[in-house]
Amino acid sequence: MKQQKLTTTKTNYSLFAKKTTRSLFETFRTSSLGLSSEQVEEAKEKFGENKIPYKKSTPFFIEVLKAFITPFTLVLIGLGVISLITEGIMPEPGEKDFFGSGIILVMVLVSGTMTLVQSVRSNKAAEKLKSLVKVTATVRRDNQYKEIPMEEIVCGDLVKLSAGDMIPADIRLISAKDLFISQSALTGESYPVEKCADKMNGQKESETSYDNLVFMGSNVISGSAEGIVIATGAKTLFGDVAKSLSATPIQTSFELGIRKTSFLFIKFMALMAPTVIVINGFTKGDWMEAFLFGLSVAVGLTPEMLPMIVTTNLVKGATGMAKNGTIIKNLNAIQNFGAIDVLCTDKTGTLTQDKIILEYHLDCDGEEDNRVLRHAYLNSYYQTGLKNLIDVAIIESTNQELDTNKIRYKKVDEIPFDFQRRRMSVVVEDQYGKTQMITKGAIEEMLEISSFVDFKGQVTKLTDEVKKQVLRKVHELNEDGLRVIGVAQKTNPSVVGEFSTADEAEMVLIGYLAFLDPPKETTKQALQALKDNGVGVKVLTGDNALVTKSVCKQVGLGAETIIHGEDLVHLRDEELAEIAESYNVFVKLNPQQKQKITSLLRENGHTVGFLGDGINDAPAMKAADVGISVDTAVDIAKESADVILLEKDLMILEQGILSGRETFGNIMKYIKATASSNFGNMFSVLIASSFLPFLPMLPLQILFLNLIYDISCISIPWDRMDKEYLEKPKKWTASSIGKFMIWLGPTSSVFDITTYLLMYFVICPTVLGGDFHSLSPEQQAAFIAIFHAGWFVESLWSQTLVLHALRTPQIPFIQSRGSFIMTVITTMGIITGTLLPFTNFGKNLGLGILPNQYWLWLVVTIFAYLILVTLVKKVYIQRYQELL
Instruction: Grade residue 327 by pLDDT with cuts at 50, 70 and 90.
Output: confident
Lowest-pLDDT range of 342-351, 652-661, 853-862, 870-879: 342-351
Of residues 723 and 734, more confidently modeled = 723
Predicted pLDDT at 19: 86
Average pLDDT, the chain: 80
Predicted pLDDT at 229: 92
Predicted pLDDT at 3: 38
Lowest-pLDDT range of 80-84, 302-306, 833-837: 302-306
Q: How do residues 335-382 score in pLDDT, each as one tens digit? A: 788 888 899 988 766 677 767 788 889 988 888 888 999 999 999 888
| Residue 761 in this model has a pLDDT that exceeds 80 | yes
| Residue 530 in this model has a pLDDT that exceeds 70 | yes
Q: How far apart are CA 823 and CA 365, in angstroms?
A: 74
Identify the CA nearest to 611 among candidates 388, 347, 356: 347
Q: State the alpha helices, DSSP H only, in 385-442.
A: 389-401
Q: Exposure pattern of 615-648 as b/e (b: 16+ CB <10 Å)?
A: bbbbbbbbbbbbbbbbbebbbbbbbbbbbbbbeb
Instruction: Grade residue 310 by pLDDT with cuts at 50, 70 and 90.
Output: confident
Mean pLDDT of 529-534: 86
Predicted pLDDT at 7: 38
- The CATH architecture one would assign to domain 357-516 is 3-Layer(aba) Sandwich (3.40)
Q: Kindly list the domain boundaries of the chain, sorted by start residue.
A: 2-55+137-244, 339-352+520-656, 357-516, 697-716+751-884
Q: At what angle do helices 306-323 and 650-691 cross, to 10 degrees?
A: 160
148: phi > 0 → left, psi -120 to 50 → alpha, else beta; which?
Answer: beta
Of residues 876 and 674, more confidently modeled = 876
Lowest-pLDDT range of 53-67, 275-289, 644-658: 53-67
Instruction: Grade residue 330 by pLDDT with cuts at 50, 70 and 90.
Output: low
| Residue 786 in this model has a pLDDT that exceeds 90 | yes
Of residues 499 and 362, more confidently modeled = 362
Instruction: Grade residue 249 by pLDDT with cuts at 50, 70 and 90.
Output: very low
| Residue 134 in this model has a pLDDT that exceeds 60 | yes
Q: Exposure pattern of 731-752 as b/e (b: 16+ CB <10 Å)?
A: bbebebbbebbebbbbbbbebb
Predicted pLDDT at 8: 38
Q: How far apart are CA 398 and CA 373, in angstroms?
A: 7
Q: How do residues 181-204 score in pLDDT, each as one tens digit? A: 877 556 545 456 778 887 655 455
Helix or strand run (H / E) with residue 179: strand 170-182
Of residues 785 and 387, more confidently modeled = 785
Among the four given CATH numbers 3.40.1640.10, 3.20.20.70, 3.40.50.1000, 1.10.1040.10, the one describing domain 339-352+520-656: 3.40.50.1000
Would you name the residues annotated as active-site residues? 346
| Residue 438 in this model has a pLDDT that exceeds 90 | yes
| Residue 771 in this model has a pLDDT that exceeds 90 | no
Q: How far apart are CA 75 and CA 77, in angstroms?
A: 6
| Residue 242 in this model has a pLDDT that exceeds 60 | no
Q: How do residues 39-57 score in pLDDT, each as one tens digit? A: 888 888 888 888 765 445 5
Predicted pLDDT at 307: 67
Q: How do residues 604-642 score in pLDDT, each as one tens digit? A: 888 888 888 766 677 788 788 888 887 666 555 666 678
Predicted pLDDT at 115: 64
Mean pLDDT of 659-669: 85
| Residue 131 in this model has a pLDDT that exceeds 60 | no
Predicted pLDDT at 674: 80
| Report field, pTM of the whole predicted structure over 0.75 | no
Q: How far apart are CA 170 and CA 137, in angstroms?
A: 13
Instruction: Grade residue 437 by pLDDT with cuts at 50, 70 and 90.
Output: very high
Instruction: Grade residue 1 by pLDDT with cuts at 50, 70 and 90.
Output: very low
Domain 2-55+137-244 has CATH 3.50.50.60: no
Q: State the alpha helices, DSSP H only, in 324-364.
A: 333-339
Instruction: Grade residue 6 by pLDDT with cuts at 50, 70 and 90.
Output: very low
Predicted pLDDT at 861: 92
Could you write out the DSSP letters of every residue in 629-696?
EETTS-HHHHHH-SEEESS--HHHHHHHHHHHHHHHHHHHHHHHHHHHHHHHHHHHHHHHHHH-SS-S
Predicted pLDDT at 208: 74
Of residues 787 and 88, more confidently modeled = 787
Q: Is residue 173 a contact partner of residue 227, using CB atoms and an 8 Å limit?
A: yes
